[in-house]
Amino acid sequence: MRQLSLRESFSLLARHAIPYTRPIYIAGEKDLEKVKKFPVVLKIDSEDVIHKSDVGAIVTNIQNHDDLKKAYHKILKNVREEMPRARIHGVAAFKQESGTELFVGMKRDSQFGNVIAFGLGGIFVEIMKDVSLRIAPFGKREAIKMIKEIQAYKVLEGARGQEPVKIVLVADLIVKASKMCATHHDIVEMDFNPVIANSKQAIVADVRILSRK
């Protein structure tokens, strides 16, 4: 078993037309100049770091190059201290997307096959345990039912003045994820967390894929 690298994971998403925030890979300090637009999110590029926020391996809402440089050194320092054996390829910068954070995941079950999970993303998926489940693969109609089943569905409709989420785009992403997992039998687990969704898009902002290969 191994966790795919960021490059491998996003390459797999691209092959299945799953929308994702395009990373800028930064192998060294000079590569920070590749970042031209702000705000951005900076994350460690390491297949050994699963929960980035737990080890200080992610910094959000970076507004300028000075803060980007500080975040770069902070992330590397944190990971080296917390996980000295982690393989580090560098960091990756992503556009800071706005919207509701969602979660789409998959676990391969020996009895049921590919079980797809959906719920609110970020820390909420672990705290609230508000998820709906389906056996993959399935179509858009079933994906929409899946979305509407969670208790927090009103958040997606735009509760308390939030921008409503375009449900059909989220459903499209879930369907593509279910088909990808059904196609690649080596995938054991998959997390899209978060998926950032608003009235215009549903896009994967971070991904973790565990493979048998």
pLDDT in tens, 48-63: 998 899 999 999 999 9
Predicted confidence at residue 51, as pLDDT, reads 86
Please tell me the predicted confidence (pLDDT) of residue 123. 63
Q: Are residues 108 and 205 in the same domain?
A: yes
Same domain, 36 and 125: no
> Is residue 13 included in any domain, yes or no?
no
DSSP-derived letter for residue 122 is T
List of the chain residues with pLDDT < 50: none
Q: Same domain for 26 and 85?
A: yes
Q: Are residues 68 and 116 in the same domain?
A: no
Residue 89: give the domain boundaries: 22-95
CA distance 106 to 12: 15
In the listed set 95, 128, 150, which residue is the last one of a domain according to the structure? Answer: 95
| Spatial separation of the C-alpha atoms in residues 169 and 102, rounded to whole Å | 12
> Quick one: pLDDT at residue 200?
97
Q: Examine the fold and report which residue of 54, 76, 95 is the final residue of a domain before the chain moves on.
A: 95
Domain boundary among 95, 111, 139: 95
Q: Residue 88 in contact with residue 23, Cβ under 8 Å?
A: no
pLDDT score of 85: 95
110 and 202 co-located in one domain: yes
Q: What is the CATH number of the domain that holds 149?
A: 3.30.470.20
Kindly state whether residue 5 falls inside one of the protein's structural domains: no
Nearest alpha-carbon partner for 152 in 193, 103, 201, 115: 103
Residue 111 lies in a domain: yes
149 & 200 share domain: yes
- Per-residue pLDDT, 213: 82
